[in-house]
Structure 1
């Protein structure tokens, strides 16, 4: 009887240690990073416009809407996903690390292109 109990507990532990399932309406990490990259690019673009801060705050939602449209993600799904990932600091840290790494790669690509054009 003891062997059955131990076997059952071991099976339970193995099953529960499997990949965590995402709740309905939450983006997976890869998709979340893609959207976050474009959101940061949109924020950066708006911040470069020679307009007052109040005007840029009015303009940014239009860019944000285009990001969600591009990725075919409703803003409510993005917000729900962000709330989900923010509950776990390690996951959120990993998402932002991936986002920042991707933004650095994009920045290097743009810089290299500018350097090539100026030569």
Structure 2
């Protein structure tokens, strides 16, 4: 009985850590978030009006999704999934910020 309980507990805990089907894993989300934030930063440096940047940014975003071969709908669904847990989002954004700092320090943009 104890062995059965331990096995069940392990099975349940492993299932909690698995990303559901149709949801990007955390590594891929961080990659996308890094590129999205870099694109936002780039667009904000252009000497154009805010209305023009609102038109320009979606073009950059489309290129990011094509680069990563991820439909925007999958990204948005994944973002909604991860936003349900503040601890996970904190972890994702901490990794994103760390990656952006590394890119900034290395000069690779």
Normalised by the length of structure 2, the TM-score is 0.93
The answer for the alignment partner of 1:66 in structure 2 is 63
Distance 2:100 2:9 in 1: 39
Q: Following the alignment from structure 1 to structure 2, what is the Cα–Cα distance between the partners of residues 78 and 91?
A: 16
Runs of 4+ in 1 over 6 A off after TM superposition: none
User: Within 5 Å, which residues of 2 pair with 1:1-119?
Assistant: 4=1, 6-18=2-14, 20-110=17-107
The CA distance in 2 between the partners of 1:107 and 1:9, in whole Å, is 49
Equivalent residue pairs, number: 107
RMSD (Å), alpha carbons: 1.3
* CA deviation vs aligned residue, 1:30-86 (integer Å, no higher than 9, x gap): 011001000000000000000000100010000000000000000000001100110
Task: List runs of 5+ in structure 2 lacking aligned partners.
Answer: none
Distance (Å, rounded) in 1 between the aligned partners of 2:3 and 2:30: 40
* Gaps in structure 1 of 5+ consecutive residues: 114-119
TM-score by length of 1: 0.85
Structure exhibiting the larger radius of gyration computed from Cα positions: 1
Report the Cα distance in structure 1 between the residues aligned to 2:102 and 2:10, rounded to whole angstroms: 38
